Structure 1
Amino acid sequence: MTSNNNLTRRRYLQGAGATGAVLTMAGCLGGGGDGDSGGDGTTEAGGTTTSSGSQELEIVHWWTAGGEADALEALVEGFEEEYPEVTVTNNAAPGGAGSALDTEIQSRILNNNPPSTFQIWPGKALNTYTESEVLEDIGDSVWDQEMRDAYLDGVKQMSQPAGNYVAVPLNIHRLNNLFYNVEVVESAGVDPSSLSTPADVLSAMETIDAETDATPMAHQTQAPWSTLQLWESVLIGAAGVDTYNDILAGNVAANEDVVRESLQLVADYSEYFNEDAGSVAWDQANNGVIQGNAAFLHQGDWAAGQYQAAEDFEYESDWDYVPFPGTDSVYHVVTDSFVMPTSNPSPEATEKWLSYCGSVDGQERFNPIKGSIPPRTDVPNDEFGPFLTTQREDFNNSDAQPPSIAHGTGVTPEVKSNIEGVFSSFNGSWNVDNAYNGLTNAF
C-alpha cells in the first residue's frame, strides 16, 4: 500500500489540528515525492522499501528550547559515535506542543515523502498513523527480547496501540510539577510544601502579588497547550484521578460541577500570569523564574532541563518544586517516542536510530539533560542528579500514572484537536460557560 491511499485527505484534516491547515516547513528535505526510496533502496509497488536505502537519517522533531535542544544534540552525538557511517539531518518543526510537526509530517506522508523518523507521543496520539497503516512494524527489527525485558510494561503498551510495535519511547516526563524560585517565595512568606489543594495555589499567588514585585505565575497563552495542561493538574488535584479518567472517557456532563470549578480556578489563576503571556513561548516565560521575576511555573519536568542549563541557578537553593497541590501520589505522564514511516528513505539507518533510542546509552545521554526519566528500568542513576533521582523515586512510589490530554496520550488526535480549540478560546476570554460547553461537545 502507498501512503497516499491510506492516509486519506479527510483523515489527515481530522488529525492535523483545528484549522486543518497544511504547512510546509522550510529546510525539510524534498526528494522522494514520486514514491522512490530516496537512496540505494528499491520500493515495491506496495510502498515497502526492500533494501537498506540511504545512510542519511532525517530526524524531524519539535525540540528547540534550551535543555531539550541540548538533550537531542547529546543523543545524536552518541548515535554518531556508534554509527559513524550514518549522516544525520536534524530538522525542527517547533510550536504548538507538536501540532506544527504533526501537520508537517502528515503533509509529507500524503506526498509520499516521509522523513526517516519523527518524534511523536505514543498511545492514542498514534491512532491517525496506525489506522492509516503508514508506520512500519518494528517488533522484530528493533524490539528484541533484551529491550522488551528492560522496558516498563505500561510504556510497552503505549508503543503498540494497534497491537504491533510501531514506536520506541525515549523518556518519561511528569506534567504535574509546580516549580518555583526559592528566593521569591521566601520573600513573600509562602511555603510551597504547605499547599495541599489547587485553591491553595491561588491563595499563595495572591500573597506573592501583595508582598513582592514578582509575577506570581509564569505562563504562556499564545498556544493552548500550557493552559490545557494546567487545567488537567487542577482537575486531578481537586477531583482525583478516577474523575479525570471518567472525563477522558467523554463523561463531561456527568462531572459538570468539578469541570466548571476547575475551569473557574484556572481563570482565577490567569489574573496572576505575566502580562506578556499571550506573546511568549513557555521557555521565554520560564526565564522569569530563572531571573527572579516570577515565583511559580506549572510545567512538565523539561523545565528543569532549562534550569540546569542556566548559569548560577542551583536546585534547591535557587529553584525547587513540589507536586502540584492535590496530586502528590500522581505521576501525570507524557512520553516522547520515535517511529519508522513506511516508504522509508533510509530503513537501515532508521532501524539503527530506533535501536539506539531504546538503548541504555541513548537514554542515559538524553534524559538527564532533557529533564526526564528513562522508560528502561536498567539505566543507572549516576548521571541523573538529585532532582531527576527524586522524580524516579516519585514515579516508583506513585499510585497512578494517568495519560495526558494536552500531549495526546489520553485522547485521540481528533478529540485533542477539539479540546485545543476550546482552550484556544478560553485563553482569550476566560469564559467558563463557553469552555464547559466546548468540552461537552469535544468528545
Structure 2
Amino acid sequence: MTDENSDKRLTRRNALRIAGAAGAASLAGCGGGDGGSGSSDGSSDGSSGDGSSDGSDGGSETTQTATLEVAHWWGEGDGNEAINALFEGFKEAHPDVATDDNLVAGGAGSNLQTNIRTRIQNGSHPSTWQQWPGKALIPFTDANLLEDIEDSVWSENGMKDAYLQGVKDAAQPAGNYVTVPLNIHRINNLFYNVSVVEDAGVDPSSLSTPSDVTDALAAVDEAGYTGMAHQTGSPWSTVQMFATIFLGQTDASTYNATWVEGNIDANSDAIAAALDTVREYSEFYPSDAGSISWTEANSGVINGETGFIHQGDWAAGTYIGADGFEYGEDWDYVVFPGTEGNYMLNMDSFPYPTANPSPDATTLWCQYCGTAEGQELFNPRKGSIPPRTDASEEPFSAFSQDQIADFGESEAQPPSLQHGLAVKPSVKSGVASAISSLISGSSNDEVVSQISDAYSNL
C-alpha cells in the first residue's frame, strides 16, 4: 500500500483542509477518561510541535519506517485492558512487526484528535489511530487523505461476508472502504445498582418513557441516594443522553430525519421536549457533576451511592472488572425507556492514511482488527460486541451476550450523534456547543437556535 497518487498525498495543503474542517470539533469519546495527560500542543511524542514540514505543497512522501505506530485514547479501565489484549494477539500473530503503542489520553478522546490534526500538518502522522467511522471521517475523505483498502484488507479473512451491513456502510463514508471498525457500542442503555433501586422501591423494568425515569430518579433521591451518575464538565455525556431521550420520546425515523438529515426546524418542538427532560434529570446529578469524570460518576453506581447512569455499554466493562460486583445481582440494565427495539450505534475503527509510514505493517494491523480472533480478544474486555457475525460468543460475558441478542433482534440502529457517526465533526461541534449552553442555563429557544445554526454546515 504505497502512495501512488500525488493528489492524495498528505501534503500541507490537504492537511490544512483537515484542520479547517475538523479543528473546532469537540471530540468526546467512548470509554476514554476525562482526565489524563497530553502536551499542550496535542502531541505525545515529545516533539516541540513545530513538525518537520518545510511548509511547501510539494507533496514529498512520508519517510517509510518498519514500526507500526497505533495511536489511541484507551488509557484506563476497560479500554486499556482491551487494547492491550489486541496488541498481544497481534504480536503473537506477527512477531516480526515492531509496534509502538501510542497512548494519547485525556479529554475523552479530544487530545488524540488534536494530536492527529497537528501531526498531519507536520507530515508525521501515525500508521493508524483510533477513530469513529461514518461521517466523522468526512473531513479526511473530502481531502483525499485515506486509502482505499477494499482489496488489501476487506477482501481478506471473509470480512465482507462476515461484517454487518450497517458497519460496512460506516467504513465507506465516501463510497469506498477506508477504515476497519473493531467494535459496536450501544448508547441507549440505562444501568443501575440493584440494591439501591430496590431500596428506593423502583422497578426499572416498569419504566416505559423518559419521563418515567424522572420519577425513578426522584424516588432514589428521596431514599437518600444520588439519582443519576453524570458529569457536566464536558458536554459529551449530556449530548448522548439528550439524543437518547429524543429517540425515546420520538422514534427512529424522526431521529434520523432530525440528526442525520438535518431537519432541525421541522422537529424543534421535539428537540425542546427532550431538552426539558434533560433539565429534569439534572436535578438528580451528583453535586460535583461539573468537576468529575464519567468514570468517577460511575463509581457511585459501583459503590452503592447512586441509582442510575445513562452511558454506552463501555460502562459495563468497568462493572465486569469490579470485584464482587455481579451482573444481574449487584448491577443490571434496561434498554433506555422509550427506545426499545433500537440499538443506537457507536463504533471505533482504524483508518488507513495515505503516505503511510509503515504500509505493510498497517495493512497487517487492519486485517487483524477485522478478524474474529482480534475482535474476540478486544470486545469482551471493552464491553462492546463484535461487528463480525461469525465471532464466537464464548469469550463474552453474560451481559455482552445479551447485547449481541438485542442487536440481532433490533428493528433500527440509529447512528450516534455524539460520536460522529450521524454527522461530520463541524456539525457535531456546534451541537456540543449548544448543549454546553444548556448546561450553563440557556433557554430552549437559544439552544434550538444554536443547534439549527450548527446544521447550517451540513
TM-score by length of 2: 0.90
- Which residue of structure 2 aligns with residue 168 of structure 1? 180
Matches within 5 A, 1:13-412: 13-18=20-25, 24-28=41-45, 33-34=51-52, 47=60, 53-145=64-156, 146-211=158-223, 213-248=224-259, 249-412=261-424
Give 4+ residue runs of structure 1 displaced > 4 Å after superposition: 29-36, 45-50
User: Post-superposition shift, 1:180?
Assistant: 0.2
User: Post-superposition shift, 1:35?
Assistant: 6.7
Q: Tell me the percent identity.
A: 49
User: Post-superposition shift, 1:94?
Assistant: 3.0
Whole-Å separation in 2 of the counterparts to 1:58 and 1:335: 21
CA contact (8 A) 1:23 1:107 kept: no
User: Post-superposition shift, 1:10?
Assistant: 5.3
User: Post-superposition shift, 1:327?
Assistant: 0.6
SS in 2 for 1:245: helix
CA contact (8 A) 2:71 2:101 kept: yes
Whole-Å separation in 2 of the counterparts to 1:112 and 1:440: 36
CA 1:46/1:26 → structure 2, altered by over 3 Å: closer, same or farther? closer
User: Post-superposition shift, 1:65?
Assistant: 2.8
User: Post-superposition shift, 1:385?
Assistant: 1.9
Q: Deviations over 1:146-173 (max 9, x none)?
A: 1111111111111111122110000000
AA of the residue aligned to 1:120? Q
CA contact (8 A) 1:23 1:103 kept: no
CA contact (8 A) 1:198 1:234 kept: yes
User: Post-superposition shift, 1:100?
Assistant: 2.3
User: Post-superposition shift, 1:292?
Assistant: 0.6
User: Post-superposition shift, 1:285?
Assistant: 1.0
SS in 1 for 2:81: helix
SS in 1 for 2:129: strand
Whole-Å separation in 2 of the counterparts to 1:246 and 1:188: 38
SS in 2 for 1:414: helix
CA 1:35/1:14 → structure 2, altered by over 3 Å: closer, same or farther? closer
- Which residue of structure 1 aligns with residue 16 of structure 2? 9
Segments of structure 2 that go 5 or more residues without pairing to the other structure are 1-5, 28-38
Q: Deviations over 1:42-101 (max 9, x none)?
A: xxx755579xx4332211111123111111111111111111112222222234443322
AA of the residue aligned to 1:90? D
Segments of structure 1 that go 5 or more residues without pairing to the other structure are 37-44
User: Post-superposition shift, 1:14?
Assistant: 3.2
Aligned CA RMSD, in angstroms, stands at 2.1
SS in 1 for 2:161: helix
Whole-Å separation in 2 of the counterparts to 1:157 and 1:402: 13
SS in 2 for 1:296: strand
Whole-Å separation in 1 of the counterparts to 2:105 and 2:310: 20
CA contact (8 A) 2:15 2:117 kept: no
Whole-Å separation in 1 of the counterparts to 2:355 and 2:348: 23
CA contact (8 A) 1:97 1:407 kept: no
Whole-Å separation in 2 of the counterparts to 1:62 and 1:89: 14
AA of the residue aligned to 1:363? Q
Whole-Å separation in 2 of the counterparts to 1:6 and 1:132: 9
AA of the residue aligned to 1:282? W
What count of residue pairs does the alignment treat as equivalent?
431
SS in 2 for 1:120: coil
AA of the residue aligned to 2:42? M
CA contact (8 A) 1:216 1:295 kept: yes
